[in-house]
Chain A
Amino acid sequence: MKRSKKSIIAMVSILIVGSTLMSACSSQNTAPPKSGAQLWGENCIRCHNAPSPSAFSDNQWETVAMHMKIRANLNSHETAEIVDFLQMAN
């Protein structure tokens, strides 16, 4: 039980430090928008390997992307960029 409490304290500390970092950095200049390829590479691997563009057809990618948009809490712009990249590269 003590070890779990230590884990909770450690993770809360990380969360607080992370929140502080984020709020401190949020006022800085925004970077140029990311490409679909970059968004695909950065977001898919948060949970699983980045999928091969050839795994699905253009229409199938639209359905897969909508499913993943909800599961990974992506916004519509990011999702559209990823789909455009996958449809172009498959």
Chain B
Amino acid sequence: MKTIAILLIVLSISAFGQDYTELINKVDRATPGDSQFLLRGYAHSGFEQFGENSSFVGGSFNPIFLWRQSDKLLFEAELELEFEHGETALALEYANMAYQLTENLTVRAGMFLLPFGTFSERLHPRWINRLPSSPLGFGHDPIGPMRDLGIELRGNAKFGNRSLTYSIYTTNGPSLNSGVDHDLEEDEAGMLNYLNVEDNNANKALGGRLAIFPFSKPSLELGVSGQFAKVGNHETDYEETTANLYALDLSYVNNLTFLKGVIDLKGQVNSINVDKAEYFSDEDSSFYSFENQSQVSYIQAAFRPAYVRNSFVQKLELVGRYSQLVTPEGSHWETNQDQFTIGLNYWLDWRSVLKIAYQVNGGGSEDTHAEEEESDHGDESSDNAILIHWAFGF
């Protein structure tokens, strides 16, 4: 009897050991390695009415691929898939690799969103942008650089309880449309193309951004950006033409306890200055010139009563924005527009929002060339608009 009992105990321990080993093996297989892949992104759909024209829009999405190789190495890439002129368009928004050099300093290389102000780098995704449209001159084909190929150092520094952030980069830089290139619009002579997959000259753009957080709580951010480059094609009359680009930005986000809500102020001014040059006009077979200076700016305020008791009201957000676009007087793409947009948002969760906005446009271009340019800019139409979007971050 005693022998049988011992035998049963031994068999039980043996069986438990086998189960335990299997369990450990399963856990080992489930444990993630050092490499981690994550698919994130955002999407939107909606309805837009410009004047008498209306259409359902969207059906587009932007997948973001994140590959974390180690605690120091990260690869990020974003695609944009959308319907354009009846076809599916695929675009590479950015693709770059980053390496953390020190606790406060990171180097990255590839195609990256440029720290020229904050809208293009941080605020343009549909679920982050508080309004269905981008400010004038900040959407597709923006007045100012949005992304480029190159290498960048970025980091931060602490001064007591205050901090500053910095970025410095060198990239291919913008190229100048001289009006004689066959693959570019002649009417856009003097305009800058901000994405050069293959550089048009030996010069590289140098740029950066410096931002300060004057208070211990990072509620206020003030930034200044610059980019400097020769923009003319190699071995042409425009080879020495330079462009000096500047941007100023501000952000103030804070809880207002007396209003039981969160205030979010954003603003940015881009100033684009290109050397004066002569361009050939096919219309009258003569040269013409103009002061090549463009400016875009916007200021936006949003308020969300996030701390009121009513669960419906706390998900609402009221937004207002004023933006302005001024392109060179005397150019074929001359325009002077401003725009006011007011919107009401309903947050379904922290990254999914229903946005309704009414947009009033003022000013406009002075000739047909610029009107064509406006339509290329999409959201810079001269018609007033009603915009309804559902934006979704994931």
- 8 A-B pairs closest in CB distance: A73-B165, A11-B248, A26-B159, A76-B103, A26-B160, A49-B350, A4-B295, A18-B214
Q: A18-B212, A46-B251 are in contact. Are A74 and B156 (CB under 8 A)?
A: yes
- Interface size of B by CB at 8 A reads 69
Query: Shortest beta-carbon distance, A2 to chain B, in Å?
Result: 10
* Residues of B contacting A: mostly: strand
Known: A47-B128, A67-B74, A75-B156. A18 touches B269 (CB 8 A): no
For residues 53 through 86 of chain A, which have their beta carbon under 8 Å from a beta carbon of chain B?
55, 59-60, 62-64, 66-67, 69-77
Interface residues of B in 205-221 (CB under 8 A from A): 211-214, 216-221
Contact of B121 with A by CB under 8 A:
yes
Question: By the criterion CB–CB under 8 Å, are A27 and B128 in contact?
Answer: no
Contacts of A59 in B (CB 8 A): 32, 36
**Does B271 sit within 8 A of A, measured CB to CB?**
yes
Q: Given the complex of chains A and B, what is the CA–CA distance between A77 and B161 in angstroms?
A: 14
Which residue of chain A lies nearest to B262 when distances are taken between CB atoms in the complex? A45
Contacts A64-B38, A67-B74 known; A22 to B214 CB distance under 8 Å?
A: yes
B98 interfacial contact with A, CB 8 Å: yes
Q: Are B36 and A62 in contact (CB under 8 A)?
A: yes
Main SS at interface, chain A: helix
**B-side interface residues toward A, CB under 8 Å?**
32, 36-38, 40, 66, 68, 71, 74, 76, 98, 100, 103-104, 106, 108, 118, 121-123, 127-128, 154-156, 158-162, 164-167, 211-214, 216-222, 224, 246, 248-251, 253, 262, 264, 267, 269, 271, 293, 295, 297, 299, 324, 326, 336, 347, 349-351, 393
Q: Do B104 and A11 touch across chains, with their CB atoms under 8 A apart?
A: no
Q: Which one, B32, B100, B246, B347, contacts A76 given CB within 8 A? A: B100
**B253 cross-chain contacts in A, Cβ below 8 A:** 45-46
Question: A77 CA to B157 CA in the complex, in Å?
Answer: 12
Residues of A within 8 A of B262 (CB): 45
B200 to chain A, nearest CB (A): 28
18 contacts between A and B (CB under 8 A): A7-B269, A11-B267, A25-B162, A27-B160, A45-B262, A47-B118, A47-B122, A48-B350, A48-B393, A63-B36, A63-B38, A66-B66, A66-B68, A66-B74, A72-B122, A73-B154, A73-B156, A73-B211
Given contacts A31-B161, A63-B38, 9 further A-B contacts (CB under 8 A): A4-B297, A22-B159, A22-B213, A25-B214, A55-B351, A62-B36, A67-B66, A73-B167, A75-B103
